[in-house]
Amino acid sequence: MKSIFIDCSLGISGDMLASALFHVGVPKSIFLNNLVNLKIDKNFNIDFIADYSQGIKGILCNKNYIKNVRSKRSLNEIKKILFDSSLNDFVISKVIKVFEILAEAESIVHGLKINDVHFHELGSIDSIIDIVNVCSAIDFLKPEKIFASNPPAGKGSISSSHGVLPVPVPTVLEIARQQKITLNILDDKYMGEITTPTGIALIVAFVDKVEQPENINIKNIGIGLGNKNIS
């Protein structure tokens, strides 16, 4: 049985997961074709580069795009981008599922109807690309089962379009509450947002069990690096 185990004990985000799946063996063309199939700005580009964290070699997703592009989008606007794209039905349906998980949590956090929710950072093209990349990579691998460890909570605070927010941010907490996912409380030295809303929403959308499988026969290992130093 070909399965995936996502060890997110030191954090989980969309680009980290996409990088790990690339490292496992998903061809770069799968990701690059998304830029064409989404019919987005041609000035947007991504690359996967080898890098190191704490002496461990992994893959970092490097995204190049024009700053100050529009980022505030509603769920329906994101759906329109997807339905107007050339992505396959599986990828479109999974991307929508991820955004619906995010929208439901955001609607509760902000006291809005789901259709009135507007994604800020999550509505940016690079966030959409992260989610599309992960969905496309899993579509390519076609695992029979997906497992994951409980994601870490993180600590401290971050700046956002809504101002300063505590970590875990309210959307992450709400998704964890709704889906009955336990957030691991790490030591005080692990500060910052190391589990993102996109990361936990992808876990919810794809993972069959939030636990380590009893037996692991390792075929490939993929290490996706983030941009935070949590040492």
pTM equals 0.90
CB 147 within 8 A of CB 4: yes
CB 169 within 8 A of CB 199: no
Q: How far is Cα 187 from Cα 173, in angstroms, rounded to an integer? A: 18
Per-residue pLDDT reduced to its tens digit, 204-213? 999 999 998 8
Most confident of 138-142, 163-167, 184-188, 227-231: 138-142
Least confident of 32-41, 138-147, 166-175: 32-41
Per-residue pLDDT reduced to its tens digit, 121-140? 666 777 889 999 999 999 99
